[in-house]
Amino acid sequence: MLREFSLIELLDFLSIFIFALVGSRVAADKGLDYGGISLVAFIAAVAGGTLRNVFLGIPPVWITDYFMLLAVIAAVIFTLLLRRVTRIGKTLLVMDTFGLSIAAVSGSYLALENSVGWLPAILLGVITAVTGGLLRDVLCQLEPVLLHRETLGTSALLGSVVFVVLAQLGAADSTAAIIGGLVVVLMRFISIKMDWHLPKFR
C-alpha cells in the first residue's frame, strides 16, 4: 500500500532529497570520500528542519519518521552510482533554489501549525531554508553562499513572508505554499540574472 503524505511531510521529504542531492554533489566535487559525501549530504538535508523542530519543541522529523532518511540515502546512492562529478552550475543552482523554496514554506507552515506567531513563523521558515546550505559550504571549505551573494536569505525571507501573510488571510495551505515557493524561486533567479546583492560594508 502506498503511503499517504500530509502537506508538511511531502514538503519535508522533497526538501530533504533535494538538499541531500546538492550536498552530495558539492562534496563529491571537493573530492571527499564516501563517508564525507554521506555526512555532508545528511547535514545539508536535515540541519534546517532539525533546528526548526528543536525551536518548536518537537522531535526532528528524521528521528520520528525513518522514511525521510530514505531521501538522503537515495541522493547519496544516486551520486555515487552516477560517478560523474558536475561542478557547481545551472543544474545544481536550479535544484538548490527549489529546495530553498520548499524548505522556506515548510518551515513557516509547521510553525503556524504549532500555533507560533507570525513573526517567529517567518524566521523559522528562513532558518529551515538556509541552515543546511550554510553548514554544507562550511564543511566543504567553501565561502558560504548565504553570506556573500545571490540574496539567498532575502529570497527565503520574502517567500516565508508571502506564505505567512496568505495563511493569515485564510488562503488554502496548498495555494499559499505554491505562491510562497514561487516568490523564492523568482526572487533568487532574478537576483542572479540582474546581479543583485545586499549592500556590503565598506
* HEC-encoded secondary structure of 117-146: CHHHHHHHHHHHHHHHHHHHHHHCCCCCHH
201: in domain = no
67: in domain = yes
1: in domain = no
Q: How many CB atoms lie within 10 A of CB 146?
A: 17
42: in domain = yes
Q: What mean pLDDT value characterizes the chain? A: 87
Q: pLDDT band at 4, cuts 50/70/90?
A: low
pLDDT greater at residue 11 or residue 148: 11
Domain that holds residue 25: 7-193
198: in domain = no
Q: pLDDT band at 38, cuts 50/70/90?
A: very high
Average pLDDT in the 179-190 region? 93
pLDDT greater at residue 145 or residue 133: 133
Q: pLDDT band at 167, cuts 50/70/90?
A: very high
Tally of CA atoms within 13 A in the half-sphere of 127 that contains its CB: 20
CA-CA-CA-CA torsion for 4, 159, 188, 8, nearest 10 degrees? -10
Whether the CB-CB separation of 54 and 64 falls below 8 Å is answered with no
How much is the pLDDT for 1? 44
Q: Is the pLDDT of residue 146 over 70?
A: no
The tally of domains found in the chain comes to 1
In order of 86, 92, 122, 130, 198, the CA distances from 31 in angstroms are 12, 17, 36, 24, 32
Q: pLDDT band at 111, cuts 50/70/90?
A: very high
Q: Is the pLDDT of residue 5 over 80?
A: no
105: in domain = yes
Residue 57 region by backbone torsions, left for phi larger than 0, else alpha for psi between -120 and 50, else beta: left
Q: What is the pTM of this model?
A: 0.88
How much is the pLDDT for 91? 76
